[in-house]
Chains A and B, each alone.
Chain A
Amino acid sequence: MNFEYAAAPESRSVVKIDPEYGHFINGKWVNGSAHFNTINPATEEVLSRIALGTAADVDAAVKAARNAFDKSWSKLSGRERGKYLFRIARIMQERAREFAVLETLDNGKPIRESRDVDVPLSAAHFFYHAGWADKLEYAGVETTTAPHGVVGQIIPWNFPLLMLAWKVAPALATGNTVVLKPAETTSLTALLFAQVCQQAGLPDGVVNIVTGDGSTGSAIVNHPGIDKIAFTGSTEVGKLIARAVAPTNKSLTLELGGKGANIVFGDAAIDETVEGIVNGIFFNQGHVCCAGSRLILQESIADEVLEKLKRRMDKIRVGDPLDKNTDLGAINSAEQLAKIRELTAAGEAEGAGRWSANCALPENGFWFAPTIFTGVTQAHRIAREEIFGPVLSVLTFRTPAEAIEKANNTPFGLSAGIWSEKGSNILWATQQLRAGVIWANTFNKFDPASPFGGYKESGWGREGGRHGLSAYLKGSAK
């Protein structure tokens, strides 16, 4: 008998989208001079028009942030700052459905993920950092407890609201003021967050949001009035920013790309490992910097795991992101889809075996079926370059040392996963792996108290936890 799940869409009427938005500067909405469309990647429908921030807009935002830092925010006690953060966190929880629906519309991710992961974790980041605001002296950081001043923050499109929370919450808790630029394709939840700041009565100029593209980001990076830059995005842009910031006094943290190794030992709990592999690469359409995009399987169980993985992948429900039963949503942009197609074509051309789940893809919008490549070697582009899509490269190993060697043989070092029922195996492997985050028998687990960041070309500095606080305090390493 066939159990078809009828469509169960979340209502989009819970959120109001304006036809056009300006920038949020000094607590007020400021009209932009030029605009661009933001679309729903699942349907290509135009959702709204977003202002393209100019150097003048950025300058106004930096001045507002400086003024707020000097006149109000730096004069407040940690306890007072904490009160604002608690208030923001509570409002985010109250307006969780609005945020979730808006995130899904603008980004293309399934409502199940925006509802159960992005929005609750974002609120959790504000709650967590609210608690630190008056306890910085006891955080055990190796820096001073003085804020930098004005921080410029540039965030990516894969977790628009969550990355905002990762950036804004620690900045405010430590007493900095903020100029934030959301990603070009996903500005809407940041603009809704601006409304939350107003609702919380946050002093004007403490949080400023300037929307735009790379040129707007560049204006932020190069503005002399900014004391610290925090960036999450591609390694390519991260390198440009590092070069731009090098001759200045600005502090810098970078959270960049990855090519996470998910290592499965022969004694792993297979069914849960298969779930973990799926969660590692197909969570958020694989638009995850710490995705487990390289599966490194011990030969003794490779066939069994792959067979179970394919069966499981056929059950992944691809389609309308607003449907509560959707597991895999839309690719965020035509540009990203083109990049995924280019790299998967290279995988086929280089001789790897391609297998895609049997699923119907909607006609409009940007879609890519969950895909794995078997017989991948270290020399393949799909084993080296970040695909940032629902595509998994599968490699095998015989000895544990070989697994580690393959896992570490990458310019990245953001995340890794280990699957084994043997504790000593896990402890040994974690000591050998060069990655900032290592998960054992789970994947893509995030918590505000846990520092996140990379080795090598995956980034500088840590976000979250006590380590993340120090990045926003004076005396932190560049």
Chain B
Amino acid sequence: MSFYGLVDGSDSSLRNYLKQLPGVDQVGAEARAAMLATRSIKTTSKAWAIDTAISMVDLTTLEGADTPGKVQALCSKAFRPDPNDLTVPRVGAVCVYNDMVGIARQHLDSIGAHDLPVAAVSTAFPSGRASMAVKLQDTEDAIIAGAAEIDMVIDRGAFLSGRLIEVFEEIVAIREVCRDRAHLKVILETGELVTLDNVRKASYLAMLAGADFIKTSTGKVAPAATAPVVLVMLEAVRDFYDLTKVRIGVKPAGGIRTTKDAIKQLVLVNETAGPEWLNPSLFRIGASALLNDLLMQRMKMSDGYYASPNYVTID
């Protein structure tokens, strides 16, 4: 088997490939991310960035206490984020647990949001601690129920103990289940990988194994989508495109709560991977509270004052 002609699927080829990647200097990466965070995005560029960010949100609810009613409300909000202002774009996708996929899909269809995808977290999210059979079934279930996007987690234990081929084969197997039925996002859980060298290695590992997107975090572990981590992942997809002419998407998730945070992410994309990635098909932001802040900032830009939070819906 050949994976982009870069590795042949064997342990040694994968190991050698990941070994020759250049290292990441943490101090330098943090300094670059901090410098980009000083970009001042105002007036017309801010208005553009807010709408772009809204269209990139994977509106998420991943709570044990989720109910069908809450998921339905979330779907309505995803389709029409501001019921009073139809110029607000719809979000990128709705992201829920496996058992809520059918409910979400049905509700979206019933309100005419046929092309708004449902993403399902999969492979024993968030820990990834289950047998391979369970992970495969978890994914198959979600796709059958209507998920068009699968957010799988990698086995961090295997990655950290150096069993890279296990992680690789697992992604390949899930990719096989998704085939052309669903987009595959691979969650690296960078908060548990700890070093930026690991983030770069895991990014390449996931891309080689067939990920359509690489995603920072589950949102259940802190730190989540820090700027240096997103920077390193954006460098990875940019360099991977140079090698393969295939563009892989990036999804930061967790900890992005304000418009300011979201705009900083867009600046990172713009000045690292480049403007081609400023598109919901290549960049998503996994978030829940963020959408309301984006809506309130949007209102502020059109009305000139900050509205009370009572003017945006809570879910």
Contact of B68 with A by CB under 8 A: no
Q: List 21 A-B contacts (CB under 8 A).
A: A3-B45, A3-B48, A3-B49, A3-B52, A5-B41, A6-B42, A6-B43, A6-B46, A7-B42, A8-B40, A112-B38, A269-B28, A271-B28, A271-B29, A271-B32, A272-B27, A275-B32, A276-B28, A324-B38, A325-B39, A441-B28
Complex: A116 Cα to B52 Cα, angstroms:
30
Complex: A272 Cα to B29 Cα, angstroms:
6
Cβ contacts under 8 Å, A315 to chain B: 271
> Whole-angstrom distance from the CB of B240 to the nearest CB of chain A?
13
Residues of A1-17 at the interface with B, using a CB-CB cut-off of 8 Å, are 1-8
Complex: A442 Cα to B29 Cα, angstroms:
11
Contact of A268 with B by CB under 8 A: yes
Complex: A269 Cα to B28 Cα, angstroms:
9
Number of interface residues of A (CB under 8 A): 25
Contact of A391 with B by CB under 8 A: no
Which 10 A-B pairs rank lowest in CB-CB distance, beginning with the nearest? Answer: A272-B28, A8-B40, A272-B25, A324-B40, A269-B25, A6-B45, A270-B22, A3-B270, A1-B278, A269-B23
Known: A1-B279, A3-B275, A325-B39. A269 touches B49 (CB 8 A): no
Cβ contacts under 8 Å, A269 to chain B: 22-25, 28
Which residue on A lies nearest to B24, using beta carbons? A269
> Whole-angstrom distance from the CB of B267 to the nearest CB of chain A?
8
Known A6-B46, A267-B22; further 7 A-B contacts with Cβ < 8 A: A1-B278, A3-B52, A5-B39, A269-B23, A271-B24, A271-B28, A271-B232
- Interface core residue of A116, A269, A273, A325 (most chain B CB under 10 Å): A269
Cβ contacts under 8 Å, A20 to chain B: none
Complex: A442 Cα to B30 Cα, angstroms:
12
Interface string of A315-329 (1 = CB under 8 A from B): 100000000110000
Cβ contacts under 8 Å, B266 to chain A: 3
- Interface core residue of B25, B46, B275 (most chain A CB under 10 Å): B25
User: Among the listed A4, A6, A116, A275, which residue makes an inter-chain contact with B38, where contact means beta carbons less than 8 Å apart?
Assistant: A116
Tally inter-chain residue pairs, CB-CB below 8 A.
75
Interface string of A253-268 (1 = CB under 8 A from B): 0000000000000011
Contact of A421 with B by CB under 8 A: yes
Would you call B52 and A1 a contact (CB within 8 A)? yes
> Whole-angstrom distance from the CB of A447 to the nearest CB of chain B?
14
Would you call A421 and B23 a contact (CB within 8 A)? yes
Complex: A112 Cα to B37 Cα, angstroms:
12
Complex: A164 Cα to B39 Cα, angstroms:
29
Which residue on B lies nearest to A268, using beta carbons? B22
Would you call B28 and A442 a contact (CB within 8 A)? yes
Would you call B235 and A4 a contact (CB within 8 A)? no
Interface of A is mostly: loop
Complex: A3 Cα to B276 Cα, angstroms:
10
Contact of B44 with A by CB under 8 A: yes
Indicate the size class of the contact surface on chain B.
20 to 34
Complex: A272 Cα to B27 Cα, angstroms:
9
Would you call A325 and B40 a contact (CB within 8 A)? yes
Binding site for B on A (CB under 8 A): 1-8, 112, 116, 267-273, 275-276, 315, 324-325, 421, 441-442
Contact of B31 with A by CB under 8 A: yes
Complex: A250 Cα to B278 Cα, angstroms:
62
Interface of B is mostly: helix
Complex: A269 Cα to B23 Cα, angstroms:
5
Would you call B22 and A271 a contact (CB within 8 A)? yes
> Whole-angstrom distance from the CB of B235 to the nearest CB of chain A?
5
Cβ contacts under 8 Å, B232 to chain A: 271
Cβ contacts under 8 Å, A5 to chain B: 39-41, 45
Which residue on B lies nearest to A2, using beta carbons? B275
Interface string of B227-264 (1 = CB under 8 A from A): 00000100100000000000000000000000000000
Complex: A116 Cα to B45 Cα, angstroms:
23
- Interface core residue of A3, A268, A270, A275 (most chain B CB under 10 Å): A3
> Whole-angstrom distance from the CB of A317 to the nearest CB of chain B?
9
Which residue on A lies nearest to B271, using beta carbons? A315
Cβ contacts under 8 Å, B279 to chain A: 1
Complex: A4 Cα to B22 Cα, angstroms:
31
- Interface core residue of B23, B31, B43 (most chain A CB under 10 Å): B23
Cβ contacts under 8 Å, B270 to chain A: 3
Complex: A325 Cα to B46 Cα, angstroms:
14
Would you call A275 and B28 a contact (CB within 8 A)? yes
Which residue on B lies nearest to A304, using beta carbons? B22
Would you call A272 and B24 a contact (CB within 8 A)? yes
Complex: A6 Cα to B28 Cα, angstroms:
28
Interface string of B6-30 (1 = CB under 8 A from A): 0000000000000000111101110
Would you call B27 and A441 a contact (CB within 8 A)? yes
Would you call A8 and B29 a contact (CB within 8 A)? no
Cβ contacts under 8 Å, B48 to chain A: 3-4
Known: A3-B270, A3-B275. A272 touches B32 (CB 8 A): yes
Known: A1-B279, A2-B275, A3-B49. A441 touches B44 (CB 8 A): no
Complex: A4 Cα to B52 Cα, angstroms:
13
> Whole-angstrom distance from the CB of A410 to the nearest CB of chain B?
26
Complex: A269 Cα to B195 Cα, angstroms:
14
Cβ contacts under 8 Å, B28 to chain A: 269, 271-273, 275-276, 441-442
Complex: A271 Cα to B29 Cα, angstroms:
8
Complex: A435 Cα to B237 Cα, angstroms:
38
Which residue on B lies nearest to A1, using beta carbons? B278
Would you call A275 and B31 a contact (CB within 8 A)? yes
Which residue on A lies nearest to B44, using beta carbons? A6
Which residue on A lies nearest to B267, using beta carbons? A3
Complex: A325 Cα to B271 Cα, angstroms:
12
Which residue on B lies nearest to A112, using beta carbons? B38
Cβ contacts under 8 Å, A273 to chain B: 25, 28
Which residue on B lies nearest to A308, using beta carbons? B239
Would you call B43 and A441 a contact (CB within 8 A)? no
Complex: A267 Cα to B21 Cα, angstroms:
10
Complex: A421 Cα to B23 Cα, angstroms:
7
> Whole-angstrom distance from the CB of A303 to the nearest CB of chain B?
12
Complex: A8 Cα to B45 Cα, angstroms:
10
Which residue on A lies nearest to B47, using beta carbons? A6
Cβ contacts under 8 Å, B31 to chain A: 275
> Whole-angstrom distance from the CB of B293 to the nearest CB of chain A?
19
Residues of B39-69 at the interface with A, using a CB-CB cut-off of 8 Å, are 39-46, 48-49, 52
Complex: A285 Cα to B132 Cα, angstroms:
56
Would you call A8 and B42 a contact (CB within 8 A)? yes
Complex: A5 Cα to B48 Cα, angstroms:
10
